[in-house]
Amino acid sequence: MSRALDAKPETTNARADYYGRIDKFHMAPLWEVLHKLLSHEPVTQASPHVWHYDKLRGHLLESADQISAAEAERRVLVLENPTMRGESRITEALYAGLQLIMPGEIAPAHRHSPSALRFIVEGTGAYTAINGEKAYMERGDLILTPSWVWHDHGHHGDVPVVWLDGLDIPLVRYLGPVFAEPYPAESFPPGHEAGDNIARYGVNMLPFGAQVPSQHSPIFHYRYAETRSALERLARSRDQDACHGVKMEYVSPATGGPVMATISTYMQRLPKGFHGATYQSTAAWVYNVVEGHGKTIVGDTVLTWGPRDVFVVPAWCHHHHKADSDSYLFSFSDLPIQKKLGLYRERRGDA
């Protein structure tokens, strides 16, 4: 790099005086900040971090003593990136939180322009309803509540249910177009029978002549049982990727693209002993471990993980995975935002 983009011209007295005079016109000299605005490579504010589920689980369950789901609207502990505290975000563009729902509780119906995913961490018997159609949660399931669809949560079972929420709230708030509204009645009317979305859209068929949404998947429930068996199968029959093992993206059957306009989602399988090659991308990645133990080395930071742990790999960080046992990792990313805006890059190896 030459001096040009890295260095700042000297702030002489004459210049300082000038800056003062133009300030009242709401103008400022670009050359004082250009070196900060245009970096050679991405500079991330976020840090790599792992939330060990065993250590935080007790605190999470305690939230049920502090507040009901109904009073909280959504009883969630936000996972705040350690170097971006107070900003309700886990990476620059993404939000993550752990949501708890207790038997018999209801989290009331609302809708909002930010898109949300829920990845089930523990428990059974709870559901998310989309436009009144219920998706019953099992460990490892992915459930979507895309932008502006009505959704509520409830619980017909008898154990606490916890899931990881992933949203694009930071980005949508930054850009501006946040809309939200509670459902105007007591409860949302029942919709299609549970599982209808999978029967209708999840078998590589689409209704003849129907208009299917193009910005998000018409499926909103991706079951772990099927996801896992597909990955296990592929692990047998195919060479895995040097960086990612066997990594599959959940897609919309209507487009083959990401399940929501702003967030892409993945499940990957690392076999016992896997030692991945280095990878970096301008997207950031939030992981939840479904099965297995291992480490992800992000630059100089070693993130050691086991079942139910959440960890984050910030943008443009060199990282690689090691698996101590056959491992299944769910992840989500802001990759589609960057792809659509022509900004996505990735690099393999330690270039």
For position 337 contacting a copy of itself by CB under 8 A, the verdict is: yes
Scanning 118-126, 149-157, 241-249, 285-293 for contacts with a copy of itself by CB under 8 A, the matching segment is 241-249
Q: Are strands 279-281 and 346-348 parallel, antiparallel or unpaired?
A: antiparallel
> For residues 104 and 131, what is the distance between their CA atoms, to the nearest angstrom?
20
Total interface residues for a copy of itself by CB under 8 A: 135
Among 61, 67, 159, 302, binds a copy of itself (CB under 8 A): 67
Judge contact between 251 and 217, C-beta under 8 A: yes
| 176-214 core/surface letters (b: 16 or more CB in 10 A; e: else) | eeeeeeeeeeeebeeeeeeeebbebbbeeeeeeeeeeee
Scanning 81-89, 122-130, 287-295, 296-304 for contacts with a copy of itself by CB under 8 A, the matching segment is 81-89
| Shortest separation between residue 82's beta carbon and a copy of itself, angstroms | 5
> For residues 213 and 16, what is the distance between their CA atoms, to the nearest angstrom?
55
DSSP letter string, 2-18: -HHHH------HHHHHH
Phi, psi of 317 (to 5 degrees): -85, 130
Half-sphere exposure of 272 (CA within 13 A, CB side): 2
Q: Which amino acid, residue 68?
A: S
For position 156 contacting a copy of itself by CB under 8 A, the verdict is: no
Give 84's contacts (C-beta < 8 A, 6+ positions apart).
Answer: 45, 46
Scanning 118-126, 255-263, 290-298, 299-307 for contacts with a copy of itself by CB under 8 A, the matching segment is 255-263
Give 96's contacts (C-beta < 8 A, 6+ positions apart).
Answer: 78, 79, 90, 164, 165, 166, 167, 286, 310, 312
What does the per-residue mask of binding to a copy of itself show for 281-320, with x meaning CB under 8 A?
Answer: -x-x------------------------------xx----
Six-digit token string for 153: 């949560």
Nearer to a copy of itself, 75 or 155 (CB): 75
Among 20, 71, 211, 351, binds a copy of itself (CB under 8 A): 71
| Shortest separation between residue 325's beta carbon and a copy of itself, angstroms | 22
Among 64, 106, 149, 212, binds a copy of itself (CB under 8 A): 212
Among 123, 154, 166, 202, binds a copy of itself (CB under 8 A): 202
> For residues 246 and 234, what is the distance between their CA atoms, to the nearest angstrom?
7
Nearer to a copy of itself, 150 or 158 (CB): 150
For position 129 contacting a copy of itself by CB under 8 A, the verdict is: no
| Shortest separation between residue 137's beta carbon and a copy of itself, angstroms | 18
For position 252 contacting a copy of itself by CB under 8 A, the verdict is: yes
> For residues 290 and 109, what is the distance between their CA atoms, to the nearest angstrom?
28
Name which of residues 5 to 64 contact a copy of itself (CB under 8 A).
Answer: 5, 9, 14-15, 18, 21-22, 25-31, 33-34, 37-44, 49, 51, 55-56, 59, 62-63
Six-digit token string for 192: 């299609």
- Kindly state the DSSP code that residue 275 receives in the 8-state scheme: B
Scanning 4-12, 269-277, 297-305, 321-329 for contacts with a copy of itself by CB under 8 A, the matching segment is 4-12
Among 64, 78, 106, 242, binds a copy of itself (CB under 8 A): 78
Among 61, 159, 206, 302, binds a copy of itself (CB under 8 A): 206
